[in-house]
Structure 1
Amino acid sequence: MLFLTIFFGLFFGLFVLILGRLLFSRTAPADSGARPRVSILVAARNEQDTIERCLTSLCRLQYPPELLEILIADDASTDNTAAVVERFIEGKPQFRLLRVRHQLGTARGKSNALAYLCRAASTDYFLFTDADMALHPHWVQTMLAAAASDEQVGIVTGITTAAGRRFGRLQGLDWLFGLNIIRVLSDLGLPITSVGNNMLVTRAAYESIGGYEALAFSITEDLQLFSRIVGQGWHFRNLCETCVLGVTVPQPTTQHLLRQRKRWMKGAVRLPASLSLLFGFYGMFYIVLFWPGLLAPAVLLGIYGAKIICQTLFLHLTLRQVGRCESLGLLLLYEPYLCLLSVAVVGYTLWPGHIWWKERQYQWAEG
């Protein structure tokens, strides 16, 4: 009984601490008005159905077009991605399409396309996003303000969600839940990770590690880049607010979602111990709660209900921070979604098989 009291006391104590940090978290620095030239970098492979949405959102950025250098790398697409891009960027001088032709250093796959983009960029600020993302019109200046708040900041991370039907919006809640936990921890000074679909890196920080072509190959290249930059002594910022919100296209099927999460699980083994322990502790909740004979049914239901209330409140506050809302029904549905997805991801990850990333196949041991 003492063990249960300590375990659930720690669990809800951590939740209260995180909720308190969320309520009183710092906001992004105010826009200073400075408008340097920036490079927006998009690696694309077989994105003919999504990339025009991304490019349209980049056209809507409230930033002087003449100060934008938007580079798109066609990473050996086997569909009409390049043709879609060429048609869209015609008459738009701030856009340029690059075709990835050969390998740079140790980079492979998407990392190689990103290395190409960074070599071609001519500014001091690299803003990374994915071909299936749509960004807020004030994305550039808000990310820049965070970088300019401290001359030692080398990497800034925005926040991501997903839209669409119920399955897509549940994925969006999952993005927000995980990324805002990471943001709360980063506000406490814990370096966790960056996310490559919504990220700013200064040229100075990027060049201090030799770029992607100097890194050992990894299928979680954003985590690797973040770790190396922070390891060089650069500071970091993780943001959660409307102006840095990116909306990704959700995974269309359960199989696609499991493939994505298996790749993420590969990266999770390299996460800092603090986050691994936190998420491991969170996962242990279900094992302890539902272990046969440990708790009376009424107590079990009371503890489970308290957990759902805390989790729903966290999601509600996060949604409010990024200027979005969801129905109470969907917020409550997130709990069974999270349980089922967690079990499925563990099973799918342990089952022998390849990792699929950008329609390429990798072994678990790679990167």
Structure 2
Amino acid sequence: MISIVFIITLVLLVLYCALIFTYRYWLARLKNFSVNYSLDSKTTFSIIIPARNEEENIDKCLSSIFNNNYPADLYEVIVIDDDSNDNTAAVVQQFQSQHKQLRLLHINDLLNGEKINSYKKKAIESAIHVANSNYIVTTDADCIVSENWLSNFDNYIQQTGKKFIAAPVSFIDNDTFLGRFQCLDFLSLQGITAASVSAGFHSMCNGANLCYEKDVFFKVNGFSGIDQLASGDDMLLMHKIQQQFPDAIGYIYLKSAIVQTLPMLTWKTFINQRIRWASKATNYNDIRITLVLWLVYILNVLLLATLVLAFFHPFDFIYWFALLFLKTIVELLFMQKVATFYEQESLLKWFAVMQPLHILYTVVAGLLGKFGKYQWKGRKVK
């Protein structure tokens, strides 16, 4: 019985390794976006920032935005206070006295007593309805953007005419075990995102660094049809737009386009965040994404199961470590390429140590994302 399980695990692992090698090949051929510095800035942007209990972070976020080298008359910033019970709104109001293009909305003024499951989507959609610009840019209140952030989007739009543009995101290494675990996990997701773009399809994106045309948002009826989910304001929206406008999706592969964000500070908030992300997995309508997700999840379930079975047949630990070694080496070859782009190569020395924990976390987050409830910023979400 055990040998059959190990054989099945090995077969799936070989398929998985082939997939990772393919991702590495696709990533290796992806070229950096070439900025045309002769182009004058012309695109107007409405930057939308949903914020709930972000008094410790939003000042850094806003400071980085207003330090952009983009003309101030070509962009506005709309912060939506999502019923914060701290001083988030007060911090934003301090910035308003210096920056006239900054607006503050309160989600309680927009709900009219309505009960919803996705406050973030409601916040973004409400801000889009009052936005004055042609293009919407979204980020999170705990993010730091580069000084070329908006100019990169403008340059890319002028060169390509794309209507939905994703861009890279990275976690800031806070020198903790949990922080490094999140950095490595997120690097893998960002690497797959870029590799998929190189292959000609768009599998993932992140709402911390997105730009899309306002008219296109309305043409696909915004978040209608996906608003029952607390998550998915980024990827599910991208897939909606891709269905109607398959040639409208773009990706800026450029270091100066990276937006940095903070990792979760506790295991509880980290797991809740990943459950939130996993909760949208069954709502993808791209069979390629679904097959990859199932392959990854079943493989990790089997790796966890074979580890448990090995305790009853200690000799099988040799086989289990052989499987783990193969998985780790193949993933490292891919991760090295990703980490180089994000200048986080120093994190790779932790990669092998964190492998068993990553297997357990993948299984638990996937299971709870489908069947469980989670808490996000003080709210219980189903």
For Structure 1 versus Structure 2, the TM-score category normalised by the shorter chain is 0.7 to 0.9
Go from structure 1 to structure 2 and tell me whether the alpha carbon gap of 1:21 and 1:204 turns closer, same or farther (over 3 Å shift): same
119-128 or 314-323, which deviates more: 314-323
Question: In the alignment, does 2:322 pair up with 1:312?
Answer: no
Q: Counterpart in 2 of 1:120?
A: 130
Q: How does 1:145-164 map to 2 (within 5 A)?
A: 145-151=155-161, 153-163=162-172, 164=174
Number of residue pairs the alignment of both structures matches = 361
Note the residue ranges of structure 1 that are not aligned, 5 or more in a row.
none
Go from structure 1 to structure 2 and tell me whether the alpha carbon gap of 1:72 and 1:130 turns closer, same or farther (over 3 Å shift): same
Q: Counterpart in 1 of 2:99?
A: 92
Please give the per-residue CA displacement for 1:70-99, whole angstroms capped at 9, x wherever unaligned.
111112222211001111332122322223
* SS of structure 2 residue aligned to 1:180: helix
Return the letter of the residue paired with 1:165.
D
Return the letter of the residue paired with 1:123.
S
Return the letter of the residue paired with 2:47.
I
Return the letter of the residue paired with 2:209.
N
Question: In the alignment, does 2:73 pair up with 1:71?
Answer: no
Percent identity of the aligned residues?
Answer: 21
The structural deviation recorded for 1:131 is 0.5
* SS of structure 2 residue aligned to 1:25: coil
CA distance in 1 between counterparts of 2:301 and 2:121 reads 38
CA distance in 1 between counterparts of 2:77 and 2:54 reads 17
Go from structure 1 to structure 2 and tell me whether the alpha carbon gap of 1:80 and 1:177 turns closer, same or farther (over 3 Å shift): same
CA-based RMSD of the aligned residues comes to: 2.9
Q: Counterpart in 1 of 2:276?
A: 263
CA distance in 2 between counterparts of 1:328 and 1:25 reads 22
CA distance in 2 between counterparts of 1:8 and 1:99 reads 49
* SS of structure 1 residue aligned to 2:352: helix
207-216 or 16-25, which deviates more: 207-216
CA distance in 1 between counterparts of 2:103 and 2:35 reads 31
CA distance in 2 between counterparts of 1:120 and 1:59 reads 21
CA distance in 2 between counterparts of 1:213 and 1:269 reads 17
Return the letter of the residue paired with 1:359.
G
Note the residue ranges of structure 2 that are not aligned, 5 or more in a row.
none
Go from structure 1 to structure 2 and tell me whether the alpha carbon gap of 1:62 and 1:106 turns closer, same or farther (over 3 Å shift): farther
Q: Counterpart in 1 of 2:376?
A: 357
TM-score (structure 2 length as normaliser):
0.84
TM-score (structure 1 length as normaliser):
0.87
Return the letter of the residue paired with 2:124.
L
Matched-pair contact (CA < 8 Å) for 1:193–1:227? no
Please give the per-residue CA displacement for 1:309-361, whole angstroms capped at 9, x wherever unaligned.
22123222112112333244223334233123223324544675x33334322
Q: How does 1:158-307 map to 2 (within 5 A)?
A: 158-163=167-172, 164-166=174-176, 167-212=178-223, 216-220=227-231, 221-234=233-246, 235-271=248-284, 272-288=286-302, 291=306, 300-307=320-327
Please give the per-residue CA displacement for 1:127-161, whole angstroms capped at 9, x wherever unaligned.
1001111112222222333333433x221111222
| More relative contact order, 1 or 2 (CA 8 Å, 6+ apart) | 2
Question: In the alignment, does 2:111 pair up with 1:103?
Answer: yes
